[in-house]
Amino acid sequence: MHTIDEVILRMDQIVAECRLKSSRIGYFAILYRQVTKRIKNGILNSEFEDNPRMEKLDVLFAKRFIDAYDAFQSGQKPTASWEHAFEAADSTKHLVLQHLLLGINAHINLDLGIAAVETIDGHDLASLQNDFNKINAVLAELVDGVKDNIGFISPFFKTLIRFAKGKEEILVNFSIKLARDGALKFAWKYQASSDKIESIQKRDKAITLLAKGLINPGIKLRLWVWLIGLAEWKSVPEIMDQLDKASKTSISVT
pLDDT tens, position by position, 113-128: 999 999 998 888 889 9
Cα radius of gyration rounded to whole Å, the chain? 17
Average pLDDT of the chain, as a whole number: 86
The answer, yes or no, to whether residue 172 has pLDDT greater than 60, is: no
Residue 158 Cα distances to 150, 161, 181, angstroms: 9, 5, 27
pLDDT above 70 covers what percent of the chain? Answer: 87
Evaluate whether 88 touches 165 at the Cβ level (below 8 Å).
no
The answer, yes or no, to whether residue 169 has pLDDT greater than 60, is: no
Closest to 149 measured CA to CA, from 222, 106, 211, 96 = 96
Angle at 7 between CA 101 and CA 137, to 5 degrees: 45
**Average pLDDT for 86-92:** 93
**pLDDT given at position 39:** 93
Evaluate whether 240 touches 247 at the Cβ level (below 8 Å).
no
> Whole-model pTM?
0.88
- Distance from C-alpha of 206 to C-alpha of 73, rounded to nearest angstrom: 24
Give me the torsion for CA of 15, 21, 27, 32, rounded to 10°: -20
Contacts for 201 with CB less than 8 Å, ≥ 6 apart: none
- 51-73 vs 96-106: helix axis angle to the nearest 10? 120
pLDDT above 90 covers what percent of the chain? Answer: 53
- 129-149 vs 176-192: helix axis angle to the nearest 10? 150
The answer, yes or no, to whether residue 191 has pLDDT greater than 70, is: yes
**pLDDT given at position 162:** 63
The answer, yes or no, to whether residue 156 has pLDDT greater than 90, is: no
Name the residue with higher pLDDT: 138 or 30.
30
**Average pLDDT for 75-95:** 94
- Distance from C-alpha of 146 to C-alpha of 144, rounded to nearest angstrom: 5
End-to-end alpha carbon distance in the chain: 23
Which pLDDT band, with edges at 50, 70 and 90, does 68 fall under? very high
**Average pLDDT for 98-102:** 90
Say which amino acid occupies 100.
L
